[in-house]
């Protein structure tokens, strides 16, 4: 788990990029006004499914996802990343807005207590920046300043909608393994406790307990049967540790938890969630309702797919086949003993007839959903981040983007070959004053060598996580910028 150590964190690179972004926005100001930036952190900025660090040791857990456990976790994360927090504070101190969109790994950002903790830390950093630059205000002024700064730290449980028609969403709602039935209030039977998804259970019960898997690199853990066998032979065969036992126990617990805590849909809760989303984002209720109809069914409603993904179906068939073969060999007349071959034959036939959905197929479904989201809202841009792969294209005057990843993703265990040589971000610009009619420009760019550069296709390996979007106008106008970032 070397990727979790401080030297491999992108904090300083993120801070440098945000400072450069602030500088570019400031230089773009013209006439009577100045540029306005909206920095959108587009989900999975905080990995609250990761093992806790206690006495410098990585300790796996399956703690309830409640405020009681989430607040100490987010406080510890923020304390461990002061460079990142201070950089966000400088953005807010400049008069810009920071928007946190909840993702599947930081769905706890829907909890008021967690939001308050994050907001307080960012406002503290912004207040220190203002005091260092302008001098500390008197007590009454300090309270007013903190209220103004807090108003610029915004949270969204599901999606964010800008005044000029940009929709920013993490995108996990179109992935059955990570979707929530009620994203505005993603709770199960226990009020205040977030409902587990297959993705969160697998992260906590499986991937985090296998030290040679990097959850930021899909290719490290999404393996074929032969791939898992080779992985076991390389890292576990002579180690005295059991990958098989950890996988079997984790897979079984994942299925049991999904069945045990399944929460059927309720119309009243769904309607309340739609109203809450329209109120939080300012989007029309009719558009929000169309948007919600695009959700993928949660994994708890698709237990067959879960069993397929966790190999439980094949393990069950193999066990039945083994018992059937033993029965044939022991009790079937000698001439019919070859019937023992029927069971493995059926297992092979099942494997060929019922192929497991590939990760690429899941990601393609998420990308297709972005086009439907644009129709639902009449949006001029839709930006996701869940698939980890940076993308950007203009289609019929509408921009579709994915903010990629800034996480510690490496191709090797020693963390010497980063998956990304450049960092992706989506930067969109528009002119103020035109509202929904304001034309957009910009798209997918990269932060490399301390500069913003056009994104190149050869800089886009398929990997893991999220990024940034902004907008700046022509001189002499009062422009805005929207920046979206994923961790």
pLDDT single digits (tens) 355-366: 666 767 777 888
| Residue 18 domain-assigned (yes or no) | yes
- Report CA Rg, the chain: 24
Whether the predicted pLDDT of 118 surpasses 90: yes
3-state secondary structure of 160: strand
Checking if the pLDDT of 471 tops 50, the result is no
DSSP 30-79: -TTS--EEEEEEES-SS-TTSPEEETTEEE------SHHHHHHHHHHHHH
pLDDT at 57: 79
- SS3 of 187-250: the string is ECCCCCCECCCHHHHHHHHCHHHCCCCCCCCHHHHCCCHHHHHHHHHHHCCCCCCCHHHHHHHH
Least confident piece of the model among 122-126, 130-134, 342-346: 342-346
Is residue 50 within 8 Å of residue 213, measured between CB atoms? no
Tokens describing residue 341 = 């071959």
Q: What is the pLDDT of residue 462?
A: 44
- On the CB side of 374, how many CA atoms lie within 13 Å of its CA? 19
- Per-residue pLDDT, averaged over 199-218, amounts to 82
Question: Has residue 335 been placed in a domain?
Answer: no
How many domains does the chain contain in total?
1
| Residue 116, H or E segment | helix 112-134
Query: How far is the first Cα of the chain from the last one, in angstroms, to the nearest whole number?
Result: 17
Strands 52-54 and 57-59: antiparallel
Q: Dihedral, CA atoms, 324, 329, 333, 339, nearest 10 degrees?
A: 50
Q: Are 258 and 299 in contact (CB under 8 A)?
A: yes
Q: Does 83 or 236 have the greater pLDDT score?
A: 83
pTM of the prediction?
0.86
The mean pLDDT value for 340-350 works out to: 67
What DSSP designation does 418 have?
B
What DSSP line would sit under 372-398, residue for residue? HHHHHHT-SEEEE-TT---EEEEETTE
Residue 330 lies in a domain: no
pLDDT at 161: 95
Q: Which residues partner with 479 through β-bridges?
A: 431
Between 95 and 355, residue with greater pLDDT: 95
Residue 8 located in a structural domain = yes
The candidate with the shortest Cα–Cα distance to 424, out of 385, 471, 398, 382, is: 385
* pLDDT reported for residue 480: 45
The two three-digit tokens of residue 318, written as one number: 């193999």
Do you know the residue count of the chain?
487
> Which one is predicted more confidently, 214 or 140?
214
Residue 457's pLDDT is 52
Residue 215 belongs to some domain of the structure? yes
Is position 353 within any domain? no
% of the chain residues with pLDDT over 90: 42
Q: How many CB atoms lie under 10 A from the CB of residue 35?
A: 26
CB 486, CB 385: distance < 8 Å: yes
Phi, psi torsion values for 400, nearest 5 degrees: -120, 125
Answer whether residue 247 shows pLDDT above 60: yes
Of 166-170, 245-249, 331-335, the range with the lowest mean pLDDT is 331-335
Q: What does each C-alpha distance from 7 to 4, 46, 82, 261, 468 come to in angstroms? A: 9, 17, 14, 39, 23
Per-residue model confidence (pLDDT) at position 479: 37
Q: Is the pLDDT of residue 465 over 70?
A: no
Q: Which domain holds residue 119?
A: 2-305+369-485
User: Does 436 map to a domain?
Assistant: yes
Beta bridge partners of 451: 448
pLDDT category at 263 given cuts 50, 70, 90 is confident
State how far Cα 95 lies from the chain centre: 27
**Structure confidence at residue 287 (pLDDT):** 95
In a domain, residue 247? The reply is yes
pLDDT digits (tens, 9 = 90+) for 290-331: 999 999 999 999 888 888 888 787 787 777 777 777 776 676
pLDDT bin (cut points 50, 70, 90) of residue 482 is: low
């Amino acid at each position: 788990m070397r990727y979790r150590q401080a030297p491999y964190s992108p904090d300083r690179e993120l801070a440098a990029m945000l400072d450069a972004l602030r500088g570019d926005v400031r230089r773009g100001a013209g006439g009577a006004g100045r540029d306005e930036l909206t920095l959108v952190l587009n989900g999975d900025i905080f990995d609250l499914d990761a093992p806790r660090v206690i006495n410098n040791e990585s300790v796996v857990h399956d703690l309830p996802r409640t405020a009681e456990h989430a607040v100490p976790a987010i406080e510890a994360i923020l304390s461990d990343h002061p460079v990142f927090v201070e950089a966000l504070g400088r953005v807010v101190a400049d008069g810009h807005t920071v928007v946190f969109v909840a993702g599947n790994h930081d769905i706890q950002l829907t909890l008021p207590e967690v939001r308050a903790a994050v907001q307080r830390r960012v406002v503290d950093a912004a207040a220190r920046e203002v005091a260092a630059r302008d001098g500390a205000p008197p007590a009454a002024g300090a309270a007013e300043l903190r209220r103004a700064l807090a108003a610029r730290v915004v949270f969204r449980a599901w999606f964010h909608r800008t005044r000029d028609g940009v929709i920013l969403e993490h995108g996990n709602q179109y992935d059955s393994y990570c979707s929530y039935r009620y994203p505005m209030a993603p709770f199960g039977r226990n009020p205040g406790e977030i409902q587990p998804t297959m993705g969160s259970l697998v992260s906590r019960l499986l991937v985090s307990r296998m030290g040679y898997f990097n959850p930021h690199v899909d290719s490290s853990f999404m393996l074929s049967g032969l791939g898992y066998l080779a992985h076991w032979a390389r890292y576990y065969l002579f180690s005295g540790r059991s990958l098989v036992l950890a996988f079997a126990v984790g897979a079984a617990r994942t299925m049991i938890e999904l069945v045990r805590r399944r929460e059927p849909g309720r119309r009243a809760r769904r309607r309340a969630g739609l109203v809450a989303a329209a109120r939080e984002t300012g989007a029309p209720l009719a558009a929000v309702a169309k948007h919600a109809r695009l959700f993928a069914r949660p994994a708890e409603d698709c237990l067959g797919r879960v069993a397929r993904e966790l190999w439980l179906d094949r393990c069950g068939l193999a066990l039945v086949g083994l018992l059937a073969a033993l029965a044939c060999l022991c009790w079937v007349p000698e001439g019919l003993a070859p019937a023992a071959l029927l069971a493995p034959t059926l297992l092979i036939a099942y494997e060929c007839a019922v192929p497991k959905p590939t990760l690429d197929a899941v990601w393609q479904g998420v990308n297709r959903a972005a086009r439907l989201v644009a129709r639902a809202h009449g949006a001029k841009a839709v930006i996701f981040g869940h698939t980890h792969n940076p993308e950007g294209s203009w289609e019929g005057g509408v921009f579709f983007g994915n903010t990629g990843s800034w996480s510690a993703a490496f191709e090797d265990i020693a963390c010497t070959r980063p998956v990304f040589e450049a960092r992706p971000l989506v930067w969109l610009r528009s002119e103020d004053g035109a509202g929904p009619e304001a034309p957009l420009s910009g798209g997918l760019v990269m932060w490399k060598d301390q500069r913003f550069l056009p994104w190149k296709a050869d800089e886009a390996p398929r990997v893991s996580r999220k990024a940034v979007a902004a907008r700046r106008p022509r001189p002499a106008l009062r422009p805005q910028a929207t920046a979206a970032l994923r961790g």
